[in-house]
Structures are given as C-alpha cells and as structure tokens.
Amino acid sequence: MDRLVRVDVKEIELPFKRNQRCTTKFQLTNLMHTMSVAVSLTTTNPSLFSFNVALSLLPPLSSSTFTISLSKPCDIPPLCSPPDSLLVRTSMVPIGKAQQQDLRRVFSKPGPHIFRDATLPVSLVGEHVVEFLLCPPVPLLVETRETSFLLGKAIKGCSGYEVTSLLHYAVRSEDVSSLLALIEAGGDVNVRDPNGVSLMKTPVQSGDLDVVRLLIDSGFEIVDGEDLFLHAAAGINRIDLMEILCSCGSSFSAVDLCGKSPVHVAAVHGHVDALEFCLSMGGDPDCVDTNGWTPLHCAAAEGHLECVEILLHHSSYSKYMISKDGKTPYLLAIDNGHSHLSELLRLEDVLHRAARIDDVHGLKNCLAQGVKVNGRDQNGWTPLHRAAFKGQIESVKILLNNGAQIDLVDDVGYTPLHCAVEAGHAQVSLYLIAHGAIANMKSLQGLCHANLDCFKNQPALFSPMSGVNERGLIELV
C-alpha cells in the first residue's frame, strides 16, 4: 500500500497578514476500511509553524480537518527558498483507541511501520507577501529566479482588487516580470490612485521604456488633458518615450496647471533633442503659459543658447512678445545675466533700428559685434528691407558691403527692391538694381503701388519690355 491517508490539497497556501495570526486548514481522510490510522504532522521548520493537533487518530474511512499556523505574528513574511514543507506520516493502529503518549511512541522510531504519505510545500501567500517581494524593506537573501517563484505563489492568494492595487508597487519596483505576473493575474492597468495618478506616471518619470511599453501593450489608455506624460518625457530629454507616447494618444497641445506645454518644458531644461522633436510633431513655439511666457521666454531666462536659436528659427515674432510682467525674452535673459543671448534677442533689433533711421555708426557697431546682417523680424524683413523702405541709401550701402542678401523675400514675398519701389525711393531702387537686384522677379509684377514718376528718366535700368501700365504700376518681365 502506497499510503494510508489522502490530503485534500497538493500544497499548503498560508495567507500572511502583517502582525496578525495567520492560519489555514487542510483535510486528511483515512483510506483504510477496517483499521484506524495514526497521523503525525511536522514541518521542516518546527519553530515557525504549529498545528492545532500534531498527533491524531483517524477512524476507518473518516476525515478530519487540521489547522496549520505561523507560531507567532510577525511584520515580515518568513520566506525561504526552498520553501518549508509539511510532512504527513502515518501508521496503522490495530486497536481503535490510543493516547497521545502511545502515538508519540509509534512515531518515535523509524521503521517499516511508518508511512510517509505526503510532503506538501508550505507557501506564504497574499498581498502583504507580494508587497514585501516587490518593495522589500531589507535585501532579500534569495536569488531573482527564486523571488519570481515566491511571487507567483504569493499572487495566488490575492483577490482581484488586491492584485490591481499591487500594480503600483510593481511599477515602482521597475520589475517587468513582476508587473507582467500581476497583469496576467487580472490586474487592471488603468487603475488610478485616490489622487487620480495613473500607473504610467512613475515609469515615464524614471524613463523606464520597458515598463511603459508593457503598460501600453496591456491596454493602458491615456486621458488627454490629465496625463501629461509628454511633459515628463520632455523634462528628461527622452525622445524614445515621447515617440511611443505620441503613438497612443499623448498631445503636444496639452498644458499643465501653469499653462506650460511640452515645448515649454524642453525649453526650460535646455533639452535640444526634445525641443526639436516637440516642434517637429506640431508643438506650438508661440504658445503662452499663465504668466504670458512663450517657450522662448523660458529658454532665454535659463540662458539656453541652442534652444533660443531653434525657437527663433521656428517663430518670427515670439521674441517680441511681452509677458504679463512686461518682459520680453531679451529682458529676461539680461535680468538673469545671460548676456551671450543679447545678439540673438536684441542686437538684431538694434541693427534693424539703425538701418531704419540711417544710423551709420550704430550699423557699423552692431556688425562689428557679429550681428547677423540677414536677421529677420516678425514680418520676415531684414535690415536691408527696412533701409530700402525708408530710403536710407548709406545704410543700404553698408549692409550690402557687409553681406546682406539683396533678393531675400519677406513673409509676403517682398524683396528690398520691392520695398524701395513701393515707397518711391528712386535712388535706393536704382542702387539695388545696379548691384544685382532682380528687377523682373515675379513678386514685383503688378504689385508696386508707388508714385513712379521718379523712374521715368531712368528707362535704361529696366528691361526693354518694362514700362508703366494704366494703373501706374511697373510692368516687369
């Protein structure tokens, strides 16, 4: 005969609660038809576990329920690897009755009369065990593989609600395998804590791409306007995170409580890669926060040169925007000691002003400091556009001598020559044409509404086919 009793479980799952009495029950059934069976219950760690009855006598074909307990309440689950085991030993008793001392005597000596009916692993289960394994207060003295085994056992003792609540611990532990185990056990990845914080916030902030991908693959849904994950990813300059977040619904137009977009965040931190990605995906370089700050204000205030250059390239007027406290990006940069930004944010404006009023000294001074001679204002005008429109011949000469591009067009297609012709400045117009300005550009055809009498005595400077039409406009080919 292989065994005398049958156990109703294949392993003992003992629910663990911190500092509480922890017990579970199992049942033994006597398989003998005519004889009683003596039963002895022991564990591999006798000091840790106790039984309501360690020695008992089962009448023929009868069943009895036994209770195994942790010997005393504890704060930390007493885990070990390999796990503790419950040993069920039995022996046939010819007589129908036996005292405890008789039973002890039966099992005191080994021999063929002792049957080893079952060896059952004892696993501690429940949410407190899972929490301990995910966020142990002390280093676990078991290998990672064994920890995964213990975790799998512990999860079996959790309710669906408990499994879901444990997901927050799993994402904080950055353990993909543990998180996957909880999700496979029915954890809801769209759960939020009482403050409305989702599971995705922690892995995005820490840059854990594997956990982010697992949550998305498991059905995580981004709530637009509430989940500002792109802000967090921009703050740590993680383009890979931003790409996957964009693919599942994150929006670059979302703003935080201060009105800042992901573009603002990238600009504040000086993250060039994140800033360029935001702008390439439709982020607005001119959006303003609750203080009236654009991303350029943010970058200028922090002194981030590359970000300032990028934002100026993407916006023709944000450097002229004034915040609620009356600050332009230039003033913020100067206030914070970032004088290296003055050329980008202000000196180009000084150059424009000098060209407009024919301030020769001012022009030469700006150019000597390295100001970009072809810098544009919010309308796309260069200093040469301004000088031409105002008829400032000396400024035109200086600008051309210092590399000004003669045929650049503004935001509506006007060249400096167009501006001079429209304003009726013959000397400047002729000077520009003499220095290579294209007089028959398409953008000039039929667009100049100036008084053109000043050109009538200079027909040779135009194409033979040029002339003045019935509306007083230059006709160019």
Give the pLDDT confidence of 79-121 residue by residue, as tens digits.
887 789 999 999 998 776 778 888 898 898 888 889 999 999 9
Strands 5-7 and 474-475 come out as unpaired
User: Residues with Cβ < 8 Å from 401, sequence gap 6 or more?
Assistant: none
Mean of pLDDT over the chain: 86
Does 454 reside within a domain? yes
Q: Is the pLDDT of residue 32 over 60?
A: yes
Helices marked H in 46-175: 100-108, 127-134, 144-155, 160-173
Query: What band does 375 get if pLDDT is binned at 50, 70 and 90?
Result: confident
Tens digits of residue pLDDT in 348-371: 677 888 898 999 998 998 888 777
Query: Using CA atoms, how far apart are residues 339 and 293, in angstroms rounded to an integer?
Result: 19
Q: Return the structure tokens found at 6.
A: 């049958």
Query: Using CA atoms, how far apart are residues 43 and 46, in angstroms rounded to an integer?
Result: 5
Contact 389, 361 (CB under 8 A): no
* Angle value at C-alpha 365, between 359 and 371, nearest 5 degrees: 105
- The string of DSSP letters for 268-327 reads HHT-HHHHHHHHHTT--TT---TTS--HHHHHHHHT-HHHHHHHHHH-SSGGG---TTS-
Closest CA to 308 of 340, 260, 347: 340
Strands 36-43 and 55-58 come out as antiparallel
Does 91 reside within a domain? yes
Domain count, the chain: 4
Closest CA to 281 of 336, 244, 256: 244
Same domain for 154 and 233?
Answer: no
As a whole-number percent, the residues of the chain with pLDDT over 90 amount to 63
Which of 161, 194, 219 terminates a domain? The answer is 219
Q: Which residue did the predictor score with more confidence, 305 or 2?
A: 305
Same domain for 377 and 464?
Answer: yes
Query: Using CA atoms, how far apart are residues 293 and 337, in angstroms rounded to an integer?
Result: 18
Tens digits of residue pLDDT in 188-207: 999 998 888 899 999 999 99
Contact 142, 150 (CB under 8 A): yes
Query: Using CA atoms, how far apart are residues 148 and 150, in angstroms rounded to an integer?
Result: 5
Which of 337, 360, 389 terminates a domain? The answer is 337
Same domain for 54 and 109?
Answer: yes
Tens digits of residue pLDDT in 216-256: 999 999 887 788 999 999 999 999 999 999 888 888 889 99
Contact 445, 468 (CB under 8 A): no
When computed from its CA atoms, the radius of gyration of the chain, rounded to whole angstroms, is: 41
Q: What pLDDT, on the 0 to 100 scale, is given for residue 139?
A: 57
Same domain for 372 and 471?
Answer: yes
How far is Cα of residue 269 from the mean position of the Cα atoms in its chain? 15
Mean pLDDT of 162-173: 92
Strands 115-125 and 12-15 come out as parallel
Does 233 reside within a domain? yes
Query: Using CA atoms, how far apart are residues 152 and 130, in angstroms rounded to an integer?
Result: 9
Look up the CATH number of the domain holding residue 181.
Answer: 1.25.40.20
Amino acid at 75: D
Look up the CATH number of the domain holding residue 39.
Answer: 2.60.40.10
Same domain for 411 and 373?
Answer: yes
Same domain for 277 and 364?
Answer: no
Amino acid at 338: H
Q: Give the domain extent around 113.
A: 5-123
Does 343 reside within a domain? no
Amino acid at 63: S
Query: Using CA atoms, how far apart are residues 405 and 333, in angstroms rounded to an integer?
Result: 29
Tokens 């390295």 map to which residue?
Answer: 370
Highest-scoring range by mean pLDDT, 168-177, 229-238, 365-374, 435-444: 229-238
Contact 32, 4 (CB under 8 A): yes
Q: Is the pLDDT of residue 444 over 80?
A: no
Does 85 reside within a domain? yes
Same domain for 310 and 195?
Answer: no
Q: What angle do the packed helices 262-269 and 305-314 form, to 10 degrees? A: 150
Does 342 reside within a domain? no
Same domain for 228 and 303?
Answer: yes
Q: Is the pLDDT of residue 212 over 80?
A: yes
Same domain for 39 and 119?
Answer: yes
Which of 123, 139, 162 terminates a domain? The answer is 123
As a whole-number percent, the residues of the chain with pLDDT over 70 amount to 89
Closest CA to 214 of 242, 166, 236, 182: 182
Same domain for 73 and 170?
Answer: no
What are the φ/ψ torsions at residue 277 (nearest 5 degrees)? Answer: -65, -45
Same domain for 352 and 474?
Answer: yes
- Exposed (0-12), middle (13-18) or buried (19+): which is 282, by Cβ within 10 Å? exposed
Tens digits of residue pLDDT in 253-273: 899 999 999 999 999 999 999
Same domain for 378 and 280?
Answer: no
Tens digits of residue pLDDT in 281-302: 999 999 999 999 999 999 999 9
Closest CA to 15 of 5, 6, 23, 4: 23
